[in-house]
Structure 1
Amino acid sequence: MTNVLKIQVVAGFLCLISLAGFGQKSAPFFFIQMTDTQFGFFTDNKSFERETENFEKAVAAANRLRPAFVVITGDLINKPADKAQLSEYKRIVALLDPEIPVYHVAGNHDVTNDPRENDIAGYRKELGNDFYVIKHNGMRGIVLNSLYFKSPAGVEKEAAAQDRWLTRQLKKARRASAAPLLVFQHHSWFLAEPEEKDEYFNIPAVTRNKYLALFQQYGVSHVFAGHYHRNAFGKSGTMEMVTTGPVGKPLGKDPSGFRIVKVSGNKVSHQYYELDHIPGQIVLE
Structure 2
Amino acid sequence: MKIVLHFWVVALAVFSTLVLAPARTAAAEPFFFVQLSDPQLGMFTDNKDFAQDAANFEFAVAAVNRLRPAFVVITGDLVHKPGDSAQITEYRRIVAKIDRSIPVYNIAGNHDVQNVPTPESLQAYTKIFGADRYTFRHGGLVGIVLNSSVIHSPEKAPEQLAEQERWLRTELTKARTEGTRHVVVFQHHPWFIQSAAEADQYFNIPTARRAAYLALFREFGVRYLFCGHYHRNAEARDGTIENITSGPVGKPLGGAKSGIRVAIVRDDRIDHRYYELGELPVSIELNPAPAKKKQ
TM-score range, shorter chain: over 0.9
Partner of 1:245: 247
Structure 1 residue runs of 5 or longer lacking an equivalent are: 1-14
Give the drift of 1:179.
1.1
What secondary structure does 2:144 align onto? Answer: strand
Give the drift of 1:20.
11
What secondary structure does 1:153 align onto? Answer: coil
Q: Distance in 2 between matches of 1:107 and 1:83?
A: 16
What secondary structure does 1:103 align onto? Answer: strand
* Pairing of 1:58-97 with structure 2 (within 5 A): 58-97=60-99
Question: TM-score w.r.t. structure 1 length?
Answer: 0.92
Give the drift of 1:21.
6.7
Partner of 1:259: 261
Q: Distance in 2 between matches of 1:101 and 1:209?
A: 32
Q: 1:228 to 1:279 in 2, by over 3 A?
A: same
Across the aligned residues of Structure 1 and Structure 2, the Cα RMSD in angstroms comes to 1.6
Partner of 2:132: 130
* Pairing of 1:94-113 with structure 2 (within 5 A): 94-113=96-115
1:236 aligns with 2:238: yes
Q: 1:20 to 1:151 in 2, by over 3 A?
A: closer
Q: Distance in 2 between matches of 1:154 and 1:20?
A: 50
Count of residue pairs brought into register by the alignment: 271
Partner of 1:120: 122
Which amino acid letter does the alignment assign opposite residue 122 of structure 2? I
Give the drift of 1:254.
2.1
Partner of 2:192: 190
Whichever of the two has the greater Rg, that structure is 2
Which amino acid letter does the alignment assign opposite residue 89 of structure 1? Y
Partner of 2:146: 144
Partner of 2:174: 172
CA deviations on 1:182-203 (whole Å, 9 max, x unpaired) are: 1000001100100000000001
The 8 Å contact of residues 116 and 150 in structure 2, kept in 1 or not, is answered as no
What percent identity do the matched residue pairs reach?
A: 51
Q: Distance in 2 between matches of 1:55 and 1:80?
A: 18
Q: Distance in 2 between matches of 1:273 and 1:215?
A: 28
Question: TM-score w.r.t. structure 2 length?
Answer: 0.89
CA deviations on 1:48-107 (whole Å, 9 max, x unpaired) are: 000110000000000000000000000000000000000000000000000000001100
Q: Distance in 1 between matches of 2:150 and 2:54?
A: 29
